[in-house]
Structure 1
Amino acid sequence: MSRDNLAGDLAGNALGALAEDHDDARWAYGTGFHDPLAGLDTAVPDGVDGDALAAYCLMLGDDALIMSHRLQEWCAHAPELEEEVALANIALDLLGQARLLLTRAGQADGTGRTEDDLAFFRDAGEFRNVRLAEAPRGDFAFCVVRLLVFATWRLALLDRLTASRDPVLAAVAAKGVKEVAYHRDHAAMWTIRLGDGTAESRRRMAGALAAVWPLTGELFAPHDVERRMAERGLGVDPSTVRAEFDQVIAEVLAAATLPVPDPAGTPHEPGRSGRDGVHSEEFHALLAELQSVARAHPGATW
């Protein structure tokens, strides 16, 4: 079997569990599931630090979880019904990625923590998502620009992550590439539509770009964990995807007749990023909402 076919089979096994009907009712995003990694080789690859692998999975999983939550906030607030459905589906795609990655984190570090434990019972300083994902909802222009930036960056990461030596990461990435390609294209469509639309829509898109762009510097500053995982063939150094990101964004903004912001963005301050557990005040409010029911009724099932 070719490597590409193997990755496809692994992805199908991993994500197929999400659609199956099981009796194991847990908090995990409102549906009962069996082991989400069933059918995959979950042994930590030889010579790999399980704690480092878990930390890396938390980074990718937290990005998806928190971005999903922000997108879910658009339910009943999007400008048209079709967009309600589109944003909800994008949020669900990211939620599926999050639960696989969080489950892998709890398995890799040997703690046995579930995705429920990691999503609902960690404090803010234990989350490792980039701050772009946690920024307040903003208006629809902000939603579009943030999604364009996030999806363009994540797609480049996932595309390279399909070659990971960790079979779980490779499987999640192989499926995620297809999902996030749609997310990026959907956001690009709206960027062009609004940027090259009315004077008001253009003004709002320009304002959204100005608000989002300072948050991009963090995306390409490799954390020590990311660097170590890349060196061992398990992860991706985010600095290596900057050129691809800049090219895609430039093409989309040119079609939208919007100016390209300064490529450098805001300088990244080492040790003070979301990857280090340093988050905004808005993140604490987000987390309180996300975790409120699970914490009020710990151990409950439905």
Structure 2
Amino acid sequence: MSASISIHWTPAVRYLLRLADTCLISGQRLAEWCGHAPVLEEDIALTNMALDLVGQSRALLTLAGQVEGRGRDRVFDEDQLAFLRDERDYLNPTLVELPNGTGKPGDFALTIVRSAMVSTYLKLWWQRLADSSEPELAAIAGKALKEARYHQQHAGDWLARLGDGTDESRRRTEAALAKLWPYHAELFDADEVDAAAQASGLGPSVAELKAPWLAEVRALLDEATLAMPPDSKFVSTGRRGVHSEHMGYILADLQYLQRAYPGGAW
């Protein structure tokens, strides 16, 4: 069984891994719909969006490995960072690791609501990263922004169809929104990592994204004739490495082959 890697943590590495892990775990959850979506066209769409997110994560993990390895005698590659970190070393927000819903394959309404929330968040982050002082990160952002815009549009279209659709679709969408909304505060919980990224020009503090995110999400909800839920005092801490009970199950699936067969490649 392959051992976990030990990372030399710097604010820049944490900042990059927070974004990379958000994309990776979001892609992992969307990929669970492959072969199970309500209609064939949507099956293909969700799978392609999952691939977009995994691709974004791959680029970010490669960059994070290069930044982490500067001045050191080894550089972790994307596979090592994806498959050989312990749970506490993953820095994605709790929102993206929550299950798609009860049962298999899950609740489509919950997936759409989460996709609307996360794609808006990533779109706003990519927009600001286009001016990053790290040239490679700016280049990644330029491509990823186009994908995030489509993801947001796709989620918004479905949100309107479900929220302003049948009684059943509206009920399930409202329930999904109520369940997921308490987790949104963590997306904008800025700390010293964000402050360092902002000071160096690497990227924005996530706190800057809150106001535009609320405005864009409110517009999506208005189109779907859905009310924005009230704020909650609940605090999630995935971006600090303290995850829900669901994260371990994701990593068991994600990491099994590399842990069982170290260095294995297709």
Alignment partner for residue 177 of structure 2, among 201, 205, 209?
209
Q: How far apart are 1:223 and its partner, in Å?
A: 2.8
Aligned to 1:288: 252
1:92 matched residue in structure 2:
51
CA distance in 1, matches of 2:265, 2:144: 28
Say yes or no: does 1:107 pair with 2:107.
Answer: no
CA shift, 1:266, in A, is: 3.9
Deviations, residues 10-57 of structure 1 (Å, cap 9, x unaligned): xxxxxxxxxxxxxxxxxxxxxxxxxxxxxxxxxxxxxxx993222211
* Structure 1 segment 36-55 matched on structure 2, within 5 A: 51-55=10-14
2:228 counterpart letter in structure 1: V
Q: 1:158 to 1:266 in 2, by over 3 A?
A: farther
Residue 232 in 1 paired to residue 200 in 2? Answer: yes
* Alignment of 1:82 onto 2:41: yes
How does the TM-score come out when normalised to structure 1?
0.80
* Structure 1 CA distance for aligned equivalents of residues 95 and 130 of structure 2: 24
Q: Give the TM-score, by structure 2 length.
A: 0.91
Secondary structure at the aligned position of 2:92 is classed as: coil
Map of 2:237 onto structure 1: 273
**Which residue in 2 is equivalent to 1:131?**
94
Question: By how many angstroms is 1:273 displaced?
Answer: 1.3
Q: How far apart, in 2, do the equivalents of 1:273 and 1:115 lie?
A: 24
CA contact (8 A) 1:55 1:225 kept: yes
Q: Residue 126 of structure 2 contacts residue 145 of structure 2 at CA under 8 Å; is this kept in 1?
A: yes
Number of matched pairs: 250
Choose which of 73, 79, 92 in structure 2 pairs with 1:116: 79
Identity %: 45
SS in 2 for 1:281: coil
1:267 deviates by: 4.8
Unaligned stretches of 5+ in structure 2? 1-7, 102-106
Indicate if the aligned counterparts of 2:183 and 2:234 stay in contact, CA closer than 8 A: no
Partners of 1:261 and 1:216 in 2: how far apart? 11
Name the SS of the counterpart of 1:109 in structure 2: helix
Once the 2 structures are TM-superposed, how far is the Cα of residue 232 of structure 1 from its aligned partner?
A: 1.6
Aligned counterpart, 2:155: 187
Cα deviation, residue 168, structure 1: 1.2
How big is each residue's C-alpha offset from its partner over 1:209-267, in whole Å with a ceiling of 9 and x where there is no partner? 001101101001113212210122111111111111111111111111111112x3445
Distance 2:162 2:249 in 1: 30
Rate the CA distance shift 1:135–1:50 in 2: closer, same or farther, 3 A.
closer
The alignment partner of 1:250 has SS state of helix
Counterpart-to-counterpart distance in 2, 1:144 and 1:119: 25
Q: Does 1:197 align with 2:165?
A: yes
Instruction: Please give the root-mean-square deviation of Cα atoms over the aligned residues, in Å.
Output: 1.4
Contact 1:216 1:266 in 2 (8 A): no
The structural deviation recorded for 1:164 is 0.5
AA matched with 2:193: V
Relative to structure 1, the CA distance from residue 164 to residue 72 in structure 2 (aligned partners, 3 Å threshold; closer, same or farther) is: same
Counterpart residue number, 1:166 = 134
The code of the aligned residue for 2:28 comes to H
Distance (Å, rounded) in 2 between the aligned partners of 1:147 and 1:224: 28
Whether 1:255 and 2:223 are equivalent positions in the alignment is: yes
